[in-house]
Amino acid sequence: MKASAPGKVILFGEHAVVFGKPAIAAAIDMRIEVDCTPSSITLFNGLPVAQTNTPHAYHALRLSGKSGAEISVRSDIPAGAGLGSSAALAAALTASLNPEMKESEIASTAYKIELLSQKRASPLDTSAVVHGHAIYVSAGGREGTLWSVGNEEVRWEVSHLDIRALPIVIGYTGVPAATGPLVLRVRKMWERFPTVRLAIEEIGTITEEAVKLLPTGDLTALGRLMERNQKLLSVIGVGSPVVDKLLDAVRPLCYGAKLTGAGGGGSIIALTDKQEKVMEAIRQKGGIPYSCSLGAEGIRRVHEVRHTD
């Protein structure tokens, strides 16, 4: 069965969400498509599956209880760009290997795969790509919880969020960054430095303000919150010169901008109604711009009739 999942951007709250603070993420119109065919051998795009080089496929298959599958994957989400390619892969693999699973089970299984593959994660990315549209994740919860997922420290509740079509441009720095080591670095800084703990608290407060502002469509106020969020991301040590280079270039042309995802490279998002100019500014600094619409559909299955003759 074929299944596809979108990528995502984190609008507010990355890293802080790992510590149980709220975060907001939205699905974007880039997708990954996975096709799994039962087989006695296991191949991932024609290559053998191993825990070391294809951890998502390895764990997805093991969790599904299937003995083997030929897996083919096609993606237009750049890998390591902070745009949810690994969460989308985990979700699409799960939906494809388990045709009977409903959304909430796909979300918790995809989260398990992310945890097993990258060691540390919140369910923010996997929930965003499974549900699609936009989501609010918090340890306190809100009315209308879709599902809750937890580890030994935090139990997160995921709810649907109505967002206006925010005019966002994505700028990929071209420098991929691995999420696991960055999450670990923040944890170590959180243990050592009270300023980092305060910054994490403050990011949570900003996200709470943002969730109230989103329905108003007040881009100026939302942009300001993005800028405050970005400063705090630098305080917790996930900024980088390549990210700053893109942010400095787009800032005069937008309401606000920040990195999105784990940081240390990856991508930025800019809230702007000067889309073309912002895209050009990103290009001039060596980045790759994407004009994206937010609120894409979540996990999608395609039932195929396979002809054997």
Which spans of this chain sit near ligand PMV (rule: CB under 6 A)? 10, 14-15, 17-18, 82, 84, 121-122, 124-125, 179, 183, 261-262, 266
Give phi and psi for 9, each to the nearest 5: -120, 150
Beta carbon nearer to ligand PMV, 2 or 261: 261
Query: Tokens standing for 4?
Result: 């596809």
Minimal distance, residue 136 CB to ligand PMV, in Å? 14
Beta carbon nearer to ligand PMV, 264 or 289: 264
Beta carbon nearer to ligand PMV, 219 or 247: 247
Minimal distance, residue 69 CB to ligand PMV, in Å? 25
Minimal distance, residue 185 CB to ligand PMV, in Å? 11
Minimal distance, residue 10 CB to ligand PMV, in Å? 6
133: left (phi over 0), alpha (psi -120 to 50) or beta: left
Beta carbon nearer to ligand PMV, 6 or 266: 266
189 CB contacts (<8 Å, ≥6 apart)?
A: 196, 236, 237
306 CB contacts (<8 Å, ≥6 apart)?
A: none
The active-site residue out of 29, 76, 125, 162 is: 125
Q: Which residue has the CB atom at the shortest distance from ligand PMV?
A: 261
- Cα–Cα distance for residue pair 129/251, rounded to 1 Å: 28
273: annotated active-site residue: no
Beta carbon nearer to ligand PMV, 14 or 227: 14
Minimal distance, residue 128 CB to ligand PMV, in Å? 9
End-to-end CA distance of the chain, in Å?
18
Tell me the CB-side half-sphere exposure of residue 41, using CA atoms within 13 A.
Answer: 6
Beta partners for residue 5, in sequence order: 32
| Beta-sheet pairing, 267-271 with 155-160 | unpaired
What is the enclosing helix (H) or strand (E) of 301? strand 300-302
Residues with catalytic annotation?
Answer: 125
